[in-house]
Structure 1
């Protein structure tokens, strides 16, 4: 799938998950900035991918895609939206060719010419036969990513699938490795590559006759779908940061009425898009654990800019900048976010809050959570019933949800403005529960 269509599917699936299929075709098309005809083509493409990747799903043609996603979500611990990454990986011809190559090299070490003969005889009707240059290019790519390795040191080189790790491990060791990867993929970011590795290990265990209930002792329910979808841009941005390159993309802010726009490739059908064309120097990528969002922090002429990654489409790398300039910009950013709870670059302010220890509890879970999540803040005073926590942060907007999440166990003392805002919020919440 092309990059442009992948952007479209990302935004499509994000809306589908958030709205649970509440939009009709026209509303979906309007929100995405596409025609109803393009919407229908996208639906057909996604249904084909779902049926190919998730063969355990019911095959009724009348089933809506939204129902399919909900069915898979509750039926399986696997994050459903990973099917988009599998579909994007390779073109159809590449998929058949690489499958043939890996299947042949899994049994024995073969040369490029032997693999060419195997591919020429095994490609489905309608697909072009590969030439020697294509096969050698595929072998070079597979060797670079560690899927295969050279068995011989002299020409002609023989290649074999590099799967000694899973072949040499016992079933118990494979299950332990699978459990470790499963926990890490569900608790750390980024996670997509971990999920794909977990799927590979699961298939290896099932080939050995292992029952599914023995492989999956843990069940996770994933709530932040955007985290998975936004990882499509993550490694492009990290690569640009490492190479000190600017990036260019079409950006749709969270307040924008549209979330996608196709490229104007036909001059007869050019139209103005609602997104903004951005050219910027990426400096840092930040993940917000509380809301499951990725943010890009970058440098432009007017200073530091922040972008929600869910609004980025049609991303491309641009020119490289000098190392000294990049270091200066990065140092300036680090100074700006030195006291940021997340990414706020506002004026530093000291926050003081009193936390109340839980009554009749064997463990002080309130204090444990403050120490775990309180970042660079410190406990400055403490007695048997309460303790006072103090931290200097850039503004109070980002720390407020964290303080509010403690409910009656937290009382904001300073600054007075934040205290008054919290009082007003709790009064508003209390009004919701007045007797009817």
Structure 2
């Protein structure tokens, strides 16, 4: 701190500690790198679609303070920096924004929730009693992860399918074994295999898909899952095999179908047959 921040610091040999040799009116702003700056801009832009919530209003104030403190370190105008980076998001409706704020409060204050939830494909909503742990943005949608008290297991809920949300006065202690990366460890998107109350992840299954044509060149360009492995099967790179270890296949199946005839599931067999059925049904729609 003495060398990098130019602070008047000395060591007290009797007390075995450091102290200021003179009053310090303003603590110097921390040194930042180009990577820090990019992360700051991207994080701010990623929350633009939540601008009507008090939570983001507070974050905007924090960003402003950081921006002011970095004026001496940044020679490029902030307006130019804003134009250089962006994050595309689907955004939330006004109803979802109201729910989002309540969910954020419930998580931060560790308060239980009650709400009605309609699952995909269900005709009626079900009442849920939840201890909320985490709110995550995944593929343009917001999802709440928490402990479903009535079912005795962790569940993931789409914010847009929640209604009648109420915050309860009852508080809870957050479990120490919850880690977001573990919760989604075997999932390709949002879907996870439900645990049975012990919080342990389901066993992953090996998945293999072969891609041809443009898909064979596009798929290796991104990291779709931590477990992915790509093998090139021909000299031109027009045929590859993608391998993963997944516990839930719903999101993965939709992703594979998006490549049409350029994707072929090799294993597991139940996923292969499910894709075949979907493609046959799609072919019927077009005569």
TM-score (norm 2): 0.60
1:285 aligns with 2:132: no
Per the alignment, do residues 352 and 275 of structure 1 end up closer, same or farther by CA in structure 2, a change over 3 Å counting? closer
**Any conservation in 1 of the 2:134–2:146 contact (CA below 8 Å)?**
yes
Match of 1:303 in 2: 153
1:388 pairs with 2:241: yes
- Provide the rounded CA distance (Å) in 2 between the counterparts of 1:228 and 1:382: 49
User: In 2, are the aligned partners of 1:336 and 1:345 still within 8 Å (CA)?
Assistant: no
Deviation at 1:383, TM superposition (A): 2.2
- Cα shift at 1:147: 11
Pairing 1:196-345 to 2, within 5 Å after superposition:
224-226=90-92, 230-243=96-109, 245-254=110-119, 277-289=127-139, 292-301=140-149, 302-310=152-160, 311-316=162-167, 318-322=169-173, 326-328=175-177, 330-331=178-179, 335-342=182-189, 343-345=191-193
What is the distance in 2 between the residues matched to 1:338 and 1:147?
31
8 Å contact 2:112–2:172 — kept in the other structure?
no
Match of 1:59?
Answer: none
Match of 2:268 in 1: 415
CA distance in 2, matches of 1:148, 1:406: 43
**Counterpart position of 1:433:** 286
Q: Deviations over 1:270-304 (max 9, x none)?
A: xxxx8655432112223331xx3222111134111
Conserved? CA contact 2:113–2:132, under 8 Å = no
* 3-state secondary structure, aligned to 2:282: helix
Equivalent residue, structure 2, for 1:179: 83
Q: Tell me the SS of whatever aligns to 1:187.
A: coil
- Counterpart-to-counterpart distance in 2, 1:367 and 1:147: 35
CA positional deviation for 1:374? 4.3
Counterpart mapping for 1:4-153 below 5 A: 145=61
- Distance in 1 between residues matched to 2:193 and 2:62, nearest whole Å: 41
Taking only aligned residues, the RMSD between alpha carbons, in angstroms, comes to 4.3
Counterpart check, 1:400 vs 2:265: no
Richer in helix (by share): 1
- Unpaired stretches in structure 2, ≥5 consecutive residues: 1-48, 195-201
Cα gap change, 1:373 to 1:386, in 2 (>3 Å) = same
1:378 aligns with 2:229: yes
Matched, 1:350 2:197: no
CA displacement 1:70-97 (0-9 Å, x = unmatched): xxxxxxxxxxxx7x975x87xxxxxxxx
1:250–1:275: 8 Å Cα contact kept in structure 2? no
Q: TM-score, normalised by structure 1?
A: 0.42
Count of aligned residue pairs for this structure pair: 222
Distance in 2 (CA, whole Å) between partners of 1:350 and 1:147 is: 43
What is the DSSP-based 3-state SS (H/G/I as helix, E as strand, rest coil) of the residue aligned with 2:251? coil
Check the 8 A contact 1:246/1:279 in 2, yes or no.
no
Q: 1: distance between equivalents of 2:68 and 2:230?
A: 51
Whether contact under 8 Å (1:357, 1:366) holds in the other structure is no
Q: Distance in 2 between matches of 1:415 and 1:373?
A: 18
Contact 2:207 2:244 in 1 (8 A): yes
Q: For structure 1, list consecutive stretches of 5 or more residues without a partner in the other structure.
A: 1-81, 90-140, 150-161, 189-223, 258-273
- Distance 1:173-1:313 versus aligned 2 partners, 3 A rule: farther
SS in 1 for 2:176: helix
